[in-house]
Structure 1
Amino acid sequence: MRNRILRRFGWIVTLILPLYLAGCGWLCPVDPPPTIYSLDNNASGAIETKNNIVNMTVVSKDANDLKAEYRAGFIQGKLQGDIVVSARDNAWDLAYLLDPSHSFPKQLGPTQEELDTAADILNANYAAFLQYLNAPDTEAVTAYRLKRLLFRMLGIYHGLTLNQPAGLDFSGDWLPNTGYFTAAELALGYETTGITFMDIYFINAYCDLMDIVAYATELAVNGVTLLDPPDKCSAFLKRVGDEIILTHNTWQGFLSQTMTQTMVVNDDWVTLNAVCPGMIGSGTDFGYNNKGIMFNETTHRVSKTEARTEHLWTFWRATLAEQFSASIPEFFEAISLDNSGTYLNGYMLVDANTRETGLVEMSYRCFVFYRSTGGDYAVTSKSMDGEACSTDYDNEMVTADYLMGINYPASLQVRSDLQSTDNRPARREQFRTLLPGVIDVETAKAVITYTDPANPLSIFGRWDLGYGETPYPKQIPDGSIDAKVGTTGMVRAFMRLSGILDTSASNTGFWMLYGSPKVNDTPFIWSESLWSDQKLRDVPDRVDGRFTLMPLYLR
């Protein structure tokens, strides 16, 4: 008997060992090593996939900041390649799938007329953005930093469409206005092999654009949308001794290609969770920069707003704030440069240098700012219309020890302005019960991924199952698709790095999980869902993964 077992085991070894040594992926799945792209010794990047998380780092150094940004974007375009095209098409499909009324687009995949409508809005906003940059009353440092972000966006586009970087004027006097692009480059595409500049703008401005559409005359009455407002993320901030923990999970639809992205451009570095490839910033807003500022964001549930096309949209202001702010007041200033009434969010903030924490919330007419060094929050407001903005707030959501983010504004003024509703009320009670028990990273990870199997509309939740506590029921392929946890200690370690690309370096950033909540031990699986015929582009059938301490690829 023993000899028969050994003989059989020997046959197994004989069959399996060569496959193992050859790296047989179906026996022992192994993430491939990073792919590296380099322009020269001063500009290079790396990308790889770890546990279903695309992880990218780009380093670009040049005496000219605009050129450094452009080259960083070019490398990003080369590294991400076709997955950016997938991000564009996935965004269009999510616009249909996540809106039960199917208002825009009206079918899976936009018509040419719908593409043209969206392109007209985006082009109008881009023209207004360029006008803002050139306006004499725009503060010079702000204009210069926004120009840097614009050159990065142009670089991403050129990285996807050109073999080599273009010879551009980086003096700051020239900008890529609409005359620089062909008509085709300013149009939008869907399921085309190529990509346009306006497609890149669409990917970055998606949330702002969809708010413009939702509050268009035919879809709103007196500024109140007839649609069910979209549902977004869960988040919290917690003080634990000398450390501050910041967390977030993204509700963005199960086609989202959520990823990690680290950009080192001259002296300005940021590591963040990008909602998809092709982004100049986060879009879902979680991360930290090398000045010590941590940030996350939860989107307010909005019924009423005044969405404005020809204003500085939130994606520009948020990216500006997240990359360049060196203090919480600087973040406040950047995010409140304008109010477009689109993509209205609450941003939790931490200064790892001073241990100050903050929160900014916004309606279409007010910004409300909260600051604390460990005690009660001092609250101020900024009115955009000259009328009063109250500083009263919900003291269960904003406490000296923690902040909770549930898409329902803590500010009573913002809540009233937006006619906001709490459509997943269990999250508030779950946070209230669980947050006192957060004492370290592991307990933070457990709370930000908490799911009540009897009520999947939890902190870490799902809409696809068709049940859960909500006054606004619906069944869509949406829910938590990731979770992140960071600490002030991680930020300080990031600040001490040299900023040199090195794929062998052991330095790490924040914890991230790609995946959906498991109910009855099962995550969301496209092929077993109501949407089993959905085309999958660079997203897995099984939306699942595990927490990973993400490599930074930096010395």
Structure 2
Amino acid sequence: MVSLSCLSGLSLLSLSGLSLVSPSSLSLVSPSSLSAFIDLQTGQLTITEGYRDDFVAWANFTDEIENWSYLEVTTSHRYNDSIQAYAAGAVEAAVTSQLMYKHWVNTLMGYCGPKTFDTGYCQRLKAYITTNLEWVMEQIQEKGNTPYWHQANLALLQLKGLEDGYNDEMAFPDGPFSINPFGFLLFQMGGDIEDLESALNKSSLTRPLGAGSCSALIKLLPDYRDLLVSHDTWNTYQSMLRIMKKYSFSYSVSPKDSASVPGGTVAFSSYPGSIFSGDDFYILSSRLVTLETTIGNSNPDLWRFVQPTGAVMEWLRNIVANRLAASGQQWAQVFSQHNSGTYNNQWMIVDYNQFIPGLPVLKEGVLTVLEQIPGLVMYGDKTHELREKGYWASFNIPYYPEIFNASGCNELVEKFGPWFSLDQSPRAQIFRRNQTAITDLDSMVRLMRYNNYREDPLSQCDACRPHANGENAISARSDLNPADGTYPFGALTQRPHGGTDMKMTSYVMSRGFEMLAVNGPTADQVPPFQWSTSPYKDLLHMGHPDTWTFKPVKVTWP
């Protein structure tokens, strides 16, 4: 078992045992700029502080964790793709190691650790992940010259470099390599694991019935003057150590095609130790913006389609599609391959190549919508609906009737009522009513941070006591629901969960990989979240500020 250790070499954690360094060691400030380069005397990949002209990968990090931290990782075209990928992971780990440690402690410590590893579920999970990795590596060995498997290999090499850089044990693999199934791969597989818990019969599930994960809105402004794209992450509050990342990777499409990948540069909201967004919200050099909200699966019969062979985990298909696609249709085609049936989402792909501000015509291809459940992927061009309604809203309920019914949503509506319906759920109604007030960036931010559950009749839950419910809003605040209330299903209970951010971009901002962003639960119409006064003050939240009252910031890059 690979130990997860800091750049200093001190053992921080191991999933076969736990050892924490002293607080004084953790207070050391990580270098803000690091370069990975080839030492000409030893031939080894070496990391040093500062910027070097001969870098393989260069990382620049700004730690402003009381709002957002910022990370840029750039690789050089002078080196082959594989060494670029490995070096990119290594320098990211070296420059963000302190946050990676804290985020692991807050969110993953103890998951299938020493006290629970011998349970049947953890053994099944390890076997599943190990078998899946072996199958993926076999495909890479056989088909590594194709674009799909070349990009998959680069992502896994970046993850390998992340682990090795964190351990300060860099050794670029000159052949087949292994990934620790219970190492930093778990940071990448958070969404996949929520579904694997059900598929592998975990006795206590992480996600309660009806639990949403994210709100999204695509809004066409009056007179076609702009197309705004926005996303709220819904997550546990322990996850709120956040990093805005920009990767600029000089990758080729494949070893046989030296053309640059369309999505070689990407800006995205992310977390320590994650090489993709996870939220997900991406601004790509292809002029695509990709985002999703989780739709899940409530039909247990479908879990039979979740198998470790023939499947690529969602996080990895996500990365490959973002790199290779130059249009929404291409993105959907790439992503649909090797459906894992895990982290089942509604994806929206906005193609700014097809949008001309001020031109009262919306060309086909501006909006592609894809939905995935176990055994089934559906996608189509929904530009006409965006044109007719003026917006597209996404709120954890499937759009396509086949997906809606196959995933069990129809049965949930029959049992619990319109809360689970596409048209009458609280967020569907709030989006429909409030989107008409959006005329600019500020009004878009206000809607995406909206939670007036005490006064808004659309936030009421007739079957709940009390009726007002903090989950029923665009940016949820489940922590505000009374612990002694009565609720028809788990999503409406008091939980350390809610909208943990907001990101949005526009036609002009996306050209510079820019966005407006807010970190933390909304406090616009409700009291701020404060760890020390909340019911969850004893939960691990290392590195967090106590009170979350941050304003929107404009994320720009040098």
Q: Give the alignment's TM-score, normalised by structure 1.
A: 0.75
Q: 1:344 to 1:85 in 2, by over 3 A?
A: same
Deviation at 1:80, TM superposition (A): 0.9
Residue 267 of structure 2 corresponds to residue 251 of structure 1: no
Deviation at 1:124, TM superposition (A): 2.4
Show the counterpart of 1:175: 176
Show the counterpart of 1:24: none
Residue 292 of structure 2 corresponds to residue 278 of structure 1: no
Residue 99 of structure 2 corresponds to residue 92 of structure 1: no
Show the counterpart of 1:262: 246
Give the secondary structure class of the aligned counterpart of 1:404: strand
Cα-to-partner distance string for 1:133-189 (whole Å, 9 max, x where unaligned): 2345x88111111111111111111211126x42443xxxx33136xxxxxxx364x
Residue 48 of structure 2 corresponds to residue 47 of structure 1: no
Residue 350 of structure 2 corresponds to residue 353 of structure 1: no
Show the counterpart of 1:294: 289
Show the counterpart of 1:61: 76
Corresponding residue pairs, total: 449
TM alignment of 1:434-473, pairs within 5 A:
434-454=434-454, 455-457=469-471, 458-466=473-481, 471-472=488-489, 473=492
Show the counterpart of 1:82: 98
Show the counterpart of 2:137: 130
Which has the higher mean CA deviation after the structures are superposed, 76-85 or 321-330? 321-330
Residue 364 of structure 2 corresponds to residue 363 of structure 1: no
Q: 1:295 to 1:272 in 2, by over 3 A?
A: same
Deviation at 1:372, TM superposition (A): 4.4
Give the whole-Å Cα distance in 2 for the aligned partners of 1:418 and 1:315: 21
Residue 234 of structure 2 corresponds to residue 234 of structure 1: no
Give the secondary structure class of the aligned counterpart of 2:280: strand
Structure 2 counterpart of 1:37, one-letter code: L
Which has the higher mean CA deviation after the structures are superposed, 416-425 or 322-331? 416-425
Give the whole-Å Cα distance in 2 for the aligned partners of 1:229 and 1:132: 36
Give the whole-Å Cα distance in 1 for the aligned partners of 2:127 and 2:100: 22
Of the candidates 397, 409, 421, which is equivalent to residue 408 of structure 1? 397
Structure 2 counterpart of 1:200, one-letter code: F
Show the counterpart of 1:119: 126
Structure 2 counterpart of 1:77, one-letter code: A
Cα-to-partner distance string for 1:319-368 (whole Å, 9 max, x where unaligned): 11223321111210121012211100011111111121211112222222
**Unmatched tracts of structure 2, length 5 or more:** 1-28, 37-51, 251-259, 356-365, 413-418, 455-468
Give the whole-Å Cα distance in 1 for the aligned partners of 2:446 and 2:487: 23
Percent identity of paired positions between Structure 1 and Structure 2: 20
TM alignment of 1:3-14, pairs within 5 A:
none
Give the whole-Å Cα distance in 2 for the aligned partners of 1:372 and 1:34: 46
Give the whole-Å Cα distance in 2 for the aligned partners of 1:34 and 1:550: 21
Deviation at 1:400, TM superposition (A): 4.6
Give the whole-Å Cα distance in 1 for the aligned partners of 2:388 and 2:548: 34
Cα-to-partner distance string for 1:461-488 (whole Å, 9 max, x where unaligned): 1111226997423221000110001112
Give the secondary structure class of the aligned counterpart of 1:145: helix
* Contact 1:426–1:469 (CA under 8 A) maintained in structure 2: no
TM alignment of 1:138-217, pairs within 5 A:
140-162=146-168, 165-169=170-174, 174-177=175-178, 186=180, 188=182, 199-217=183-201
Structure 2 counterpart of 1:456, one-letter code: G
Cα-to-partner distance string for 1:424-446 (whole Å, 9 max, x where unaligned): 93211110011122222111111
Q: 1:81 to 1:419 in 2, by over 3 A?
A: same
Which has the higher mean CA deviation after the structures are superposed, 298-307 or 72-81? 298-307
Give the whole-Å Cα distance in 2 for the aligned partners of 1:290 and 1:34: 28
Give the secondary structure class of the aligned counterpart of 1:38: strand
Q: 1:470 to 1:337 in 2, by over 3 A?
A: farther
TM alignment of 1:279-428, pairs within 5 A:
279-304=274-299, 305-306=302-303, 307-310=306-309, 311-355=311-355, 356-373=366-383, 375-376=384-385, 400-420=389-409, 421=412, 422=419, 425-428=425-428
* Contact 1:423–1:470 (CA under 8 A) maintained in structure 2: no
RMSD after superposition: 2.9
Q: 1:309 to 1:230 in 2, by over 3 A?
A: farther
Give the secondary structure class of the aligned counterpart of 1:283: coil
Give the secondary structure class of the aligned counterpart of 1:359: strand
Structure 1 counterpart of 2:395, one-letter code: I
Cα-to-partner distance string for 1:274-306 (whole Å, 9 max, x where unaligned): 1x2111211111021111110111000421232
* Contact 2:296–2:343 (CA under 8 A) maintained in structure 1: no
Structure 1 counterpart of 2:402, one-letter code: Q
Give the secondary structure class of the aligned counterpart of 1:68: helix
Give the whole-Å Cα distance in 1 for the aligned partners of 2:436 and 2:487: 25
Give the whole-Å Cα distance in 1 for the aligned partners of 2:73 and 2:35: 9
Give the whole-Å Cα distance in 2 for the aligned partners of 1:113 and 1:542: 38
Deviation at 1:376, TM superposition (A): 4.0
Give the whole-Å Cα distance in 1 for the aligned partners of 2:510 and 2:536: 40
Give the whole-Å Cα distance in 2 for the aligned partners of 1:48 and 1:56: 7
